[in-house]
Structure 1
Amino acid sequence: MSAISDQNLETVGPIGAIAEAVDILMARHGITEDAAIDLLVRASGEANAKVRETAGRIVAGATGQ
């Protein structure tokens, strides 16, 4: 995981990062919370990464960090 994502996770915590990533995906794609969670889990699996790591990357990308 990048230092940016590590820093972001320290700020909001792993659960906070996941919730924030779900919110970002919902807004970005106009989808429901369940669909956003499915998308996050699927993206994590495709990247062979933990969900919290993928969430951290989504949040970091959305905040320009």
Structure 2
Amino acid sequence: MIREMSKSNFVSFWPTFSAVIQAQETYAFDPEMTMEQAFSVWCELPLKTYVYTENDIVLGSYYIKPN
């Protein structure tokens, strides 16, 4: 199911997101950013942030922001 991402969704998404930013291969985010900083960048600054879940497991996320 695709829906807007909640704080609890982000908490369960954080280990995956953290691993991605620490690898420094995809996103130009500070690899040392905290979960709170990442939540702000991923969920509060964009226009909308969505999550895809299946059986209450977060399988993916994306955000929409102005160009």
The verdict on a shared fold, with TM-score over 0.5 as the criterion, is: no
Larger of the two Rg values belongs to structure: 2
Higher normalized strand content (fraction of residues): 2
TM-score by structure 2 length? 0.36
Higher normalized helix content (fraction of residues): 1
The structure, 1 or 2, with the larger RCO (C-alpha pairs under 8 Å, 6+ apart) is 1
TM-score by structure 1 length? 0.37
